[in-house]
Amino acid sequence: MNIRRLIGWGLIGLGIANILNFMAPRPIPTVGAGAIVSGIILIIAGLGVSGLGTAIGGRLRLLLRSETAPRKAAPRPIDPLLPVRILKLAEKRSGKLTVSAAAMALEIGLDQAQAGLEELERRGAASSEIDEETGLMAWRFPEFLPPSGN
């Protein structure tokens, strides 16, 4: 046992004794709430000196993080050719696609289809809007839309 750990445990013991001394008929060396406060300070100092505070704090952080914050799955990289496949599909479908239509036609997962459509939107090749007929999110590809009848 090294000297730091020994001093830390000594401070923790003094802190506990100080808190317990609060309950004695004549508290020494502190009185009232001061006994509790100084006891807590001694315990915290002991934890810091002995290195137990960092070990306990690290375990508490892991415990709290695992129960309160759900871990997000790392975003899977999409196939680099997926946007091109979606563009070809958009051309065949007159410039309008939904996530489910893209997923079914390309035989990919819904999350991959959505990621591909969002990538094309981010790059300016498409824009998303709510389809008034179906109420679903649809992506429009202006270069593949039929010409307006003006």
Higher pLDDT, 119 or 64: 119
Name the DSSP letter for residue 71.
Answer: P
Q: Please determine, for residue 127, whether its predicted confidence score (pLDDT) is greater than 90.
A: yes
Strands 127-130 vs 96-98: parallel, antiparallel or unpaired: unpaired
State residue 11's pLDDT score: 75
**Cβ pair 98, 139 in contact under 8 A:** yes
Copy the structure tokens of residue 131. 């389809």
pLDDT at 54: 61
Please count the CA atoms within 13 angstroms of the CA of 67 that sit on its side-chain side.
Answer: 6
| Enclosing H/E stretch for 128 | strand 127-130
Average of per-residue pLDDT across 116-127 = 92
- Domain limits of the chain? 3-68, 82-144
Q: What is the pLDDT of residue 101?
A: 94
CB atoms near residue 28 (< 10 Å): 9
Between 40 and 65, the more confident residue is 40
The CATH number that domain 82-144 falls under is 1.10.10.10
Query: Percent of the chain beyond pLDDT 70?
Result: 69
According to DSSP, the residues that pair with 134 across neighbouring strands are none
Write down the pTM of the prediction. 0.48
